């Protein structure tokens, strides 16, 4: 039998967790439930998951902090569950490394649809499945970055990265011409539908989360270079 993708649910309300467990099982996933952030981080350290559904309001802290902790060691896709329908939550959530979000109340069908979409986008959850093992450079001969436009996936050193939409577009622009220095405005124009509505620091924030995800694959490589007063470039393959 084909292996069912393991999904971790971190949610303190048992009624919501039950609904999610049932919906995900019905859709062919193998879900597990933790009621606290700490239990969630421990579960991720114990075995690989394809995706994490993470409540923002947890009894032992915020889901954003839990996500930051997860991101130190893993690029596993994260979908935030939030009770506050504000744009700020969304931006904050995505800048902190989440891949999508749902505002409560939501239907189980909505959740499973998002889970599937995020897994499709991030390459079926292959990214970040090794929570402990920081991968070394496995294949120095292969191109460092391989962009798969159809699936919206970028592989870095043979590892599919779990990227948000904007991280994907930024890295795609940089990877198109390694060595070329892009200004923040140019990156904004390449990655955002409405560049005028964003700020320079939005680019910086996404570069930061992007670097964290690249570090998970190769801790010392740091392929994105900062050019003071100018912008960013991607180091050419060495």
Residues binding Ca ion (CB under 5 A): 12, 55, 57
Token pair belonging to 5: 């993708």
Q: Which C-beta is closer to Ca ion: that of 11 or that of 95?
A: 11
> What DSSP state is assigned to residue 158?
T
Q: How far is the CB of 59 from Ca ion (least distance, A)?
A: 8
Shortest CB 189 distance to Ca ion, Å: 38
Q: Tokens 């436009």 belong to which residue? A: 149
For 46, phi then psi, to 5°, come to -80, -35
Min dist. Cβ of residue 31 to Ca ion (A): 17
Distance CA 124, CA 160 (A): 9
Determine how many CB atoms are found less than 10 A away from the CB of residue 93. 24
Residue 65 CB, nearest approach to Ca ion (Å): 14
DSSP character for 219?
Answer: T
Residues 6 or more apart whose CB falls under 8 angstroms from that of 235 comprise 178, 179, 222, 223, 224, 225
Taking the complex as a whole, how short is the minimal distance between the CB of residue 125 and Ca ion, in angstroms? Answer: 24
Between 27 and 55, name the residue whose CB sits nearer to Ca ion: 55
- In terms of Cα–Cα distance, which of 112, 198, 217 is closest to 154? 217
- The nearest distance, CB 162 to Ca ion, in angstroms, is 24
Which H helix or E strand runs over 209? helix 200-217
In this complex, which beta carbon is closest to Ca ion, that of residue 55 or of residue 144?
Answer: 55
* 12 vs 158, beta carbon nearer Ca ion: 12
**Helix, strand, coil: what percent of the chain each, to 5?**
40, 20, 40
Residue, CB closest to Ca ion: 57
Cβ-based nearer residue to Ca ion, 7 or 17: 17
Tell me which residue of 124, 101, 112 sits closest to 5, measured CA to CA: 124
What does each C-alpha distance from 156 to 77, 85, 89, 147 come to in angstroms?
16, 34, 29, 9
- Of 104 and 116, CB closest to Ca ion: 104
């Amino acid at each position: 039998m084909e292996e069912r993708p393991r999904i971790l649910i971190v949610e303190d309300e048992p009624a919501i967790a039950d609904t999610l467990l049932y919906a995900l099982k019905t859709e062919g996933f193998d879900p597990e439930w933790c009621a606290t952030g700490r239990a969630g981080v421990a579960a991720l350290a114990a075995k690989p998951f394809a995706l994490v559904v993470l409540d923002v309001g947890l009894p032992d802290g915020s889901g954003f902090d839990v996500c930051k902790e997860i991101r130190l060691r893993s690029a596993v896709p994260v979908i935030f569950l939030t009770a506050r329908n504000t744009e700020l939550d969304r931006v904050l959530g995505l800048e902190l490394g989440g891949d999508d979000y749902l505002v409560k109340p939501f239907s189980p069908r909505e959740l499973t649809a998002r889970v599937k979409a995020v897994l499709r986008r991030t390459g079926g959850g292959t990214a970040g499945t090794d929570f402990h093992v920081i991968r070394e450079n496995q294949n120095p001969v292969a191109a460092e970055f391989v962009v798969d436009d159809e699936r919206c996936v970028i592989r870095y050193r043979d590892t599919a990265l779990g990227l948000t939409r904007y991280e994907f577009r930024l890295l795609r622009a940089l990877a198109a011409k390694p060595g070329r220095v892009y200004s923040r405005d140019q990156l904004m124009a390449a990655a955002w539908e409405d560049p005028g509505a964003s700020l320079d620091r939005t680019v910086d924030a996404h570069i930061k989360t992007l670097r964290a995800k690249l570090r998970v694959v190769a801790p010392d490589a740091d392929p994105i270079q900062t050019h003071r007063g100018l912008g960013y470039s991607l180091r050419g393959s060495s």
